[in-house]
Amino acid sequence: MPNILDDPFLSGAIQMYENANIPILLTDGEFFPLWASPPVCRDLPFLAKPDGVRTFLSAYSLPAVAEEIAARGFFQAVGPDSLFPGRKIRFYPARPGQADLYFAQVEQLPSQGSGMHPEGVSRILSAFSSQYRSRLSAIFSSLNLLTKCCDSLSPDERQKVSGYLERINTESYKIFRTCKWISIYTQQINGLDPIQLCNIELWPFLQELCEAAQILLEPQGICLHYVIPRGSLYLYTDPGQLSLILLNLFSNSCRFSGEEKRIDVHASCSSSSLLITVSDHGPGIPPDVLPHVFEPYFSYGPDGAPFTGNGLGLCIAKHAAAALGGELHLFSEPGEGARACLRLPVRTSPEGACVESPVAGYLSDRYSDLYVALADCIPSSPC
C-alpha cells in the first residue's frame, strides 16, 4: 500500500477531518485501519487497533458490506451492544467510484453537558455514582459505629458479632466494586474516561504496587512473587489506568490461583515496548471459555459456575490497555494456569517532571482501588 499522504486527494481530506475534529478512520479494502483522527485515538482507541473496525463489523459479512457500499455509495453499521452500545459508523469510498479505501465516520453522541449540568450518559453516571456512593458511605459509617459498640459485649458475643460485621463489610466492598466497575466500563465505551498522561518512574511504581498487594495478600496465604528490573525507566502513561489494569489482573489471578496460591509478576522492557506478565498456577481456563474472558459481564468461577463475578474486570483492563496504546492478552492451558500479558509502548515526554506515584496512598486509603479490586481475596474489617 503506497503512503496515503502521497495522494493529494487523501492527504487533503485527512487534513480537513483533522481540522474539523471529526471522529473518522481511513481503512483499506478489507477494513483494516490505515489512519485514525485524533478524536478516535483519544475517545475510541479500540477502533484504531488492527482488528478494531473488523470487530465492530463482526455481525456483518464483510464482502456484503463492500457490495453495499459499491451499490449505494455508503453503508451504516451498528456495533455489537456488548462492546459499542448505540454506536454507529458510516462507511463510504475514500475515492469516489473506487473500493480500495474507505472512510469510516463514527456517529457523534449527543452532548454530555458540563460537570455542573451533565447530560446524556454523563447525567446517568452522575446520578448512579451519587446514589451508590451515598448509600455505601452510610453502610460503612454504620459498621464502624457498630464495631465500637462491640466493646461492651462479652468475648464470645464479640467474636460472633464481629464475624457478622466482617461479612457485611466484605459484601459491601463487593457491591462497591461492582458499581465502580460498571461506572468505569460505561465511561470507557462512551469515550468519557479521559486519559491523564504524565511521566512516571516505572520500575519503582511497579514495585510499590506489587508490595502493596503483597502486604494484603500474604496474610491470606497468597504469595505474590515479582521480578522487576532495577534502575530507571521513565514512561509517559496514565498511572491510574496502569494500576487499574494490574490490580484487576492480580484479582483475577488470586481467584484462580488454585491450591498453590501463588501469583508471579514479571516485567521486562525492550527499546520499543514494555511487557508485564501476571501468571497463576491454578487449573487453567477451559478452551471453550477462553475466547469469552474479555467480554463484558461474562464471568466464570474456578468451579465452573457462571456469574461468579461482575464480569467486568478483564474487560475494563483490556479497554484501559488499548487507551494507553497497548494490548492485553490472556493465555491458558488446562491444568497449567493462566498468564496475562500486557504490552505497552515505551515513550517519554520531554516536558514535565515525573509525578509522584499514586500507589503510596493505596494502603492508607481503605477505599482505594487496591482494596476494592482485591475484595474477593482479603477479609475486610469495618475498622
Mean pLDDT by 10 residues, the chain (383 residues): 66 79 89 90 80 82 91 85 69 84 80 54 79 81 80 83 86 90 87 81 93 92 93 88 95 84 94 92 88 87 66 91 91 90 84 68 84 81 54
Residues constituting the chain: 383
What local confidence, expressed as pLDDT, does residue 110 receive? Answer: 54
The predicted pLDDT at position 39 comes to: 85
Residue 255 to residues 280, 282, 319, Cα–Cα distance (Å): 9, 9, 21
> How much is the pLDDT for 212?
94
State the pLDDT at residue 167: 87
What's the Cα-to-Cα distance from 213 to each of 63, 130, 217, 243, 250, rounded to whole Å? 49, 28, 6, 11, 8
pLDDT digit string (tens) for 353-366?
A: 566 777 777 888 88
Q: pLDDT tens, 185-202? A: 888 887 777 788 888 999
Query: For 110-120, what is each residue's pLDDT tens digit?
Result: 555 555 455 66
Per-residue DSSP letters for 308-362? SS-S-HHHHHHHHHHHTT-EEEEEE-TTS-EEEEEEEE----SSSPPPPPGGGGT
Residue 138 has which C-alpha cell?
Answer: 452510610
Scan for cell 456469574, then name that residue: 307
CA distances from 25 to 5, 37, 44, 119, 176 (A): 14, 6, 11, 27, 37
**H-helix or E-strand spanning residue 122:** helix 120-149
Nine cell digits for residue 306:
457462571
Q: What is the pLDDT of residue 3?
A: 63
Q: What's the confidence (pLDDT) of residue 334? A: 85
Closest CA to 316 of 178, 220, 175: 178
**Residue 166 DSSP SS3:** helix
What pLDDT score was predicted for residue 51? 77
Residue 1's pLDDT is 42
How far, in Å, CA of 191 to CA of 104, rounded? 17
